[in-house]
Chains A and B, each alone.
Chain A
Amino acid sequence: MLSPEVLTVLIAMLGGAIRVSTPYLFVALGETLTEKSGRINLGLEGNLVLGAMMAYAVSFHTGQPWLGVLAACGAGLFLGLLHGVICSLPRVNDIAVGIALMSFGTGAAFFFGKPYIQPQAPRLEGLALGEWSSNPALKQALLINPLFFLGIAIAVLLWWALANTRPGLILRMTGDSEASARAMGVNPVRVRILATVAGGGLAGIGGAFLSLSYPGSWNEGLSSGQGLMAVALVIFARWNPLRCVWAALLFGAAGAIGPALQSVGISQGYYFFNAAPYILTLFIMIASARAGLAAQSAPGELSIVK
């Protein structure tokens, strides 16, 4: 039998994995979709933050959190469209545009978000899946937001569609070899714009989770770079939507280690434990890069691979 302290930390990591992972998951899936088409959108942090602000504002004004999720998705789609269209112009660098749109997205969110820092907006209700347990910590860990399941469903769908459907094949082909796509009569520009728009929309939904579920409040420090980390997770997940789920869960669980260890009395070195997710990512990146696996699975048309 596990000691209570170990159990507490494990439950906290489980809860953390579920609570913290969702925004990472949505951004990582969005980025996977975009990069599969041969483009990099580094600006998803901007989609995440603008999505969070829009979701909170719409939920506050309408009282309907799910309308907020739609609005967040819309904001993400819009930023994705901007990125997709601008990058389709000749001699435009997608990485530079991504960074510019990241600043634009966060800046717009901070500008329009000022009046929403103080008010309380209705939040998305979680599904209480832990009612069978008498352990309140476990009950809390299993109070799961529907967006988490939506994210997993999208991941499975993407994974299946990329491998088994005609649109999936066209997307992968555009990302791996533009020449082949053209030979097949596919318009690569259109595919890439669509992929960037869809990816941007997913990242926006991730933002809605931040402001409407966990931590469930809008302020300017809300994301603290989660959108950027999620872009890194895509490389770590080697452009596979299912691996994105594991990467996001692992990252969320690692993030819960710092507070959980302090709560059971292991309080020395909390700066180190708080850095756990980043250290972990770094090590896994080094390990996967050494095997050359990341380079193998990268879409051939990505500007950093070419």
Chain B
Amino acid sequence: MSSARLTRRSLLKTSAAGLGAAMLPFGLPRAALAQEALTIGVVYVGPKDDFGWNQAHAVSMDILKGVPGVTVVEEENVPETGACAKSMESMINLDGATLILGTSFGYFDPFMVDLANKYPDIQFRHAAPLWSADKHPMNLGGYFCYLNQAHFVDGVAAALSSTTGKIGFVAAKPIPTVLSNINSVLLGARSVRPDATVQVIFTGDWSLPVREAEAANALVDAGCDVLTCHVDGPKVVIETAEARGVKCCGHNASQAALAPNGFITGAEYKWETIYTMYADMLAKGEALPNVVVGGYHNDMVRNTAYGAGATPEAIAAADAAIADLKAGKPIYAGPLKDNAGNVVIDKIYDNYDPFLDGMGYLLEGVIGSTT
């Protein structure tokens, strides 16, 4: 890391000659490079130790750092604006990165798409299911863990651990992955308790601790007795739930320690499964696939170990739900209506069906609005 920084500094000071030297790898074939030295540039939207999304990635990144000949350059707190394109471009031009991993949803379009067109020799991978072969360049791709499967299990456990059947959900932005997590909590809850509801409050951004606390309090005041969330750092929501004496389900990483009384279970990514696969392929000099997705069936998500808030019935039902998901049981078994009464899911969809990636609605039973 320090040597990479030094390179960047000194290169900035020197003239085009220095830049040219850094760009030398451009002419070489990728496979040959991977054997010798490969620099991977990783860009995070928040701090690497946020107890959530970024930490889940950063911890798994150690697996890539362990591959001989691989250097990982990382930059944290990069907003989803032109700033991310600048960071990635400087990783390519100054650090000699030939694989760029963009870990935040908003990096993809237009920033990573434009960069992939501009640098056809560089490989780009983005942590969301947004890439499609007919629309985007072939040196770009996506990888994603379908966390909504673990949220479905959260919903099952939450509904059976709740008294009121009202689950509160603090969400950042109404993008498809977040909406799918909310809808999956609802479907999980309704699979064991048909009268359960999920009430959602959107805060508007990935990390706004004060507003997250306000939202959590507002949900408890509205009668919810289980809270869960989809924000970058769930610590505030979980701590607020515990302080208000309601139960909670975690998100991104394990928050069990934050809520010794009320923690039920939580949805966790297993990015290490993907990054281990990437590391193996890079070590062998193989090309990375454009798309890697998975969920319970291929060990890419998990639920946190049950906490004190989980009732025995909840644990039994959640374990059964996990077994079903591993066997490929579909979550979105249509026909299903959205909360405005329109049929949005017409038939039964497989858990990895691309149709679901474009989700822009909240299902019937969710109290809230995407706009």
Contact = CB atoms under 8 A, between A and B. Distances in A.
Interface in B214-235: 214-215, 217-222, 233, 235
A122 to B, nearest CB: 12
B207 A270 contact: no
A117 B50 contact: yes
B262 to A, nearest CB: 14
B203 interface: yes
A215 B221 contact: no
Nearest to A117: B49
B283 interface: no
B252 to A, nearest CB: 13
15 contacts: A12-B218, A114-B49, A117-B47, A136-B221, A140-B217, A215-B236, A216-B239, A217-B239, A219-B47, A221-B208, A221-B209, A224-B208, A258-B211, A259-B217, A271-B204
A270 B205 CA distance: 12
B244 interface: yes
Contacts of A140: 217, 220-221, 244
Contact of A219 (B50, B202, B222): B50
Given A15-B217, A274-B204, 10 more contacts: A118-B49, A120-B257, A137-B220, A217-B239, A220-B50, A260-B218, A263-B218, A267-B368, A268-B371, A270-B204
B369 interface: yes
Nearest to A15: B217
Contact of B221 (A8, A221, A267, A269): A8
B213 A215 contact: yes
B40 interface: no
Chain A's interface: helix, strand, loop or mixed, by majority? helix
B258 interface: yes
B259 to A, nearest CB: 10
B49 A8 contact: no
A117 B201 contact: no
Interface string B52-77: 00000000000000000000000001
B222 A263 contact: yes
Interface of B: 46-47, 49-51, 77, 199-204, 207-215, 217-222, 233, 235-236, 239-240, 243-244, 257-258, 367-369, 371
Contacts of B77: 220
Contact of B210 (A215, A265, A269): A215
A264 interface: yes
A204 interface: no
A262 B213 contact: no
Nearest to B368: A267
A101 to B, nearest CB: 20
Interface size classification for chain A: 35 or more
A226 to B, nearest CB: 8
Given A214-B210, A262-B218, A221 B51 contact: no
A15 B217 CA distance: 9
A106 B239 CA distance: 24
A52 B203 CA distance: 22
A175 B243 CA distance: 45
A265 B367 contact: yes
Going nearest first, the 5 A-B pairs with the smallest beta carbon separation are A267-B369, A221-B207, A215-B213, A263-B218, A137-B221
A217 B243 CA distance: 12
A267 B222 contact: no
Nearest to B369: A267
Given A216-B239, A219-B235, A263 B219 contact: yes
Contacts of B204: 258, 270-271, 274
Contacts of A76: none
A217 B200 CA distance: 23
B208 A217 contact: no
A255 B213 CA distance: 12
A118 B211 contact: no
A171 B222 CA distance: 48
B188 to A, nearest CB: 22
A259 B218 contact: yes
Given A120-B258, A140-B221, A262 B210 contact: no
A16 interface: yes
Interface in A256-283: 256, 258-260, 262-265, 267-271, 274
Given A255-B211, A262-B202, A12 B51 contact: no
B261 to A, nearest CB: 14
A87 to B, nearest CB: 30
A7 B224 CA distance: 17
Contacts of A221: 46, 207-209, 233
Given A215-B212, A269-B371, A12 B217 contact: yes
A45 B2 CA distance: 30
Nearest to B366: A267
A220 B46 contact: yes
A1 to B, nearest CB: 19
A217 B242 CA distance: 13
Interface string A150-171: 0000000000000000000000
Contacts of B199: 263
Residue from B200, B208, B235, B258 having most chain A Cβ neighbours under 10 A:
B235
Nearest to B51: A118
Interface in A211-261: 214-217, 219-222, 224, 226, 255-256, 258-260
B51 to A, nearest CB: 6
Given A15-B217, A256-B214, A263-B201, A268 B369 contact: yes
